[in-house]
Structure formats: structure tokens, C-alpha cells
Structure 1
Amino acid sequence: MKTLIADDEFANRELLKHYLRPYGECFLAEDGAEAVALFKSHLASGSPFHLVMMDIMMPNMDGQEAVREIRRLEKEKYGPSAESSQLSF
């Protein structure tokens, strides 16, 4: 399982990574903007994330805005069916 963890608190990112590492590779982002950039690059490479864990209150771009952008990117790539078959919110 490939996981994206977005949280502005270092300890939270590391704790989640510690618990999820046995299940697969974890990628870390410090804010929503960084999370969207990582999501976009992995989606474009054909290797999207299986799980996204997003803090809601973060600097630069909050989690809700980041999830909206992630949904838009999915819809752009996969079409309207992406709304029901991809990330749960």
C-alpha cells in the first residue's frame, strides 16, 4: 500500500509513518500544497496513492482545500467516475 501523509506536525507524520510502514511505502508532506504536489506527480507517473491521510488545519493550503484539489486532479485524469471510485472524504 502506498500512503501519503500530510500533517504540519512532525511528530504526527512520524507516528503515522511508524504505524503504516509495515503495510507499504509512506510519503510525507508538511502542508496541503506539498501534499497536492506529491499527489499530482505520483498520479502523473501512473503510480497513484492508495491511501491519503490529511490533516485539516495546516499552513499554506488547508486539508479541505488540498482534498478538493486532489479530487479535481482525479476527475481530470479518470473522468466523472473518479468521484465515486477514488478517495473517501
Structure 2
Amino acid sequence: MYSPAKKIEDSKVPIALEKYLGSNPSVRKIRIHFDNDIAGRKAAQTLKTILPDKYEIVDEPPKAGKDFNDFLCMRMGIYNKKTHERNEER
């Protein structure tokens, strides 16, 4: 779970990601797959803002539903009442 600071500028890169990037200097593109909710969108925007310019950040939230599990259930036709209620709100 990644929780950015209230002010984006005060946020830090998660330790695991920072270590991975430090150990893999050839990485130039990072794909972000956070939940499609307020917290997930804020976390994605924060990382896009605070990571150095040497990385291409690709933000790929699920096309529908709160997370990829919801999205896959919807694609497979598995009904989840809460998911459908959330989608109607968007």
C-alpha cells in the first residue's frame, strides 16, 4: 500500500520501488496499476510527479471497476453488486 503525503512534493518513492530502480538502472519505463479509486489515482499522480524525469510513467488503471479483480469479474460476466453500484456513480 502506498500512501502519499498530503502535499505531493513532500511524498517519497516507496522503498521497494526505490531499491528496485537502484538495482536496475536500465529501467526507463514504469507501468502503474493502482486501483481506480481516489487513493489509487492520487498515488499514481504522486509517483508521476516525484519520480525523476528519466522514467516514462505509464498509468494504467483498470478500464472499469475499482481494481483489476473487479474488472476481470466484469469481463467474465461474474456479477458483483458493489462493483456495478460504483460504476453507476462514475
Q: TM-score, normalised by structure 2?
A: 0.34
Give 1 or 2: higher helix fraction: 1
Structure number, greater radius of gyration? 2
Q: TM-score, normalised by structure 1?
A: 0.34
